[in-house]
Amino acid sequence: MIPKKIFISAGESSGDLYASELMAELQRAWPAVEWFGCAGPRMQKAGVEPVVDARSLSVVGLVEVVSHLPRIYGEYRKLLRAIAERRPDFVILTDSPDFHLRIARRVHAMGIPVFYLVAPQAWAWRQGRVRQMRKTIRKLFCLFPFEEAWYRHRGVDAHYIGHPLARIVRPSMQRAEWLAKHGLEPGKKLIALLPGSRRGEIARHLPALDEAVGLLESQLEASYVLAAPLGFAEKAGSEFFRERISRPSIQIIEGETWDVLAHADVALAASGTVTMEAALLGTPLITYYKVTGVSWMLGRFLVDVPFYSMVNLIAERRLAPELMQNEMTGARIARETARLLGDEQALSEMRRGLHEIRARLESEEHPMVRAARMIRESFQ
């Protein structure tokens, strides 16, 4: 079968990246396909007609989502109407399981095949979702090696394809060149601050990071760089950083996260995709996260994992310090940072562990080449 229309959807910036790469591989075989769906900037650039802009769905936290539910539900209905009216040959859903598993159920009921890229973390919480996934998803593509066996044991047609980031995470320039570009002193330690990519999580994390820098300045001769998404300051407003950062030593650099990470001596990274990027670049890290108190209490009853960070889950040990919720204070961050930078053996052990993680995530074949091939073979 040569498809005429494909619906593709992603709700996160990382999903936008992965989905656009999968599109590129499928377009090699099916160049005349009409693409539509929920698309971020990369997918739109690749040719997806955005029925919904993916950036409108980017909200985190059980309680935080509540105020956005009417708008999110409206976008959900808009996508379902487009699918029902245009009848794609199949759909590709990427990450964002709370949103996409609902779409998968409705699309399956329409008799349209569903492929799912980036397996939901059902192994960590809400395992009951697996029953629905078993019925509605034709193929599930996993980015982490332990997920395939976990899902297959529960009857889901899951396939480990490798992690796309393992092939693409690279700095754009050498350290000396990059430091010179931003006026950073090469003889100083570089501490990277990565508070997240969403406005809400950045706002929650910045005060503690600002406090940590204030404490570290009296102990370390270092440069402090805050990596922000490209265009974030303009979008958030001119007062956003000024209201939350009091330390003039913090330099904000937008759109260069991989360079910031690659050239840093240690990364203070919000739990999420950026911790995997740090691991793949071999940068020692301390990870943290904070949500509202109510979200944290509810989440603790639902989550059943030995670690919160994917870096530690893949390593199967506490490789990187985790400072979650009430433990995420300026004093704790500063103490862990000073301890790590002052212990060369600990730094070496962490780097070895990060190298192991990279080896586990690399694959001989490009992950999206493999996923695209399995999708095409499903229709032969």
193-236 pLDDT per residue, tens: 999 988 889 999 999 999 999 999 999 999 999 999 888 888 78
Residues 290 and 372 in one domain: no
Confidence band of 11 (pLDDT split at 50, 70, 90):
confident
40-74 pLDDT per residue, tens: 999 999 999 999 998 777 544 434 445 556 777 88
Residues 139 and 225 in one domain: no
151-195 pLDDT per residue, tens: 999 999 999 999 999 988 999 999 999 999 999 999 999 999 999
- Could you tell me if 99 and 11 are in contact, meaning their C-beta atoms sit under 8 angstroms apart? yes
Residues 272 and 352 in one domain: yes
From 62-76, 115-129, 331-345, the region with the lowest mean pLDDT: 62-76
Residues 209 and 355 in one domain: yes
d(CA 128, CA 375): 26
Residues 158 and 251 in one domain: no
- Could you tell me if 43 and 8 are in contact, meaning their C-beta atoms sit under 8 angstroms apart? yes
Q: With H, G, I as helix, E, B as strand and everything else as coil, classify residue 237.
A: coil
Residues 115 and 201 in one domain: no
Residues 103 and 187 in one domain: no
pLDDT beyond 90 at 331: yes
Residues 129 and 152 in one domain: yes
84-101 pLDDT per residue, tens: 999 999 999 999 898 999
Sign of CA dihedral 108, 152, 93, 380: negative
Residues 213 and 79 in one domain: no
Residues 183 and 58 in one domain: no
- Structure-token pair, residue 5: 């229309």
pLDDT winner (highest mean) among 59-73, 285-299, 309-323 = 309-323
Position 170 in a domain: no
Position 169 in a domain: no
Q: With H, G, I as helix, E, B as strand and everything else as coil, classify residue 18.
A: helix
* Alpha helices (H) in the chain, listed in sequence order: 13-29, 41-46, 69-86, 97-109, 129-136, 145-153, 165-168, 175-181, 199-216, 232-236, 239-244, 257-263, 273-281, 293-302, 310-315, 330-341, 344-361, 367-377
Mean pLDDT on 238-245? 88
DSSP line for 76-101 = HHHHHHHHHHH--SEEEEES-HHHHH
* pTM recorded for the entire structure: 0.81
**pLDDT recorded at residue 60:** 43
d(CA 79, CA 102): 11
- Could you tell me if 20 and 42 are in contact, meaning their C-beta atoms sit under 8 angstroms apart? yes
Number of independent structural domains in the chain: 2
Torsion angle, CA of 358/363/366/367, rounded to 10 degrees?
-80
Mean pLDDT on 292-318? 74
d(CA 297, CA 123): 19
92 forms bridges with which residues in the sheet? 8, 115
Mean pLDDT on 289-293? 78
Residues 187 and 267 in one domain: yes
Q: Which residues form the domain of 61? A: 5-162+363-377
Position 270 in a domain: yes
Residue 303 sits in a domain of what CATH number? 3.40.50.2000
Residues 158 and 269 in one domain: no
More confident residue, 325 or 116: 116
Check residue 365 and report its DSSP letter. S
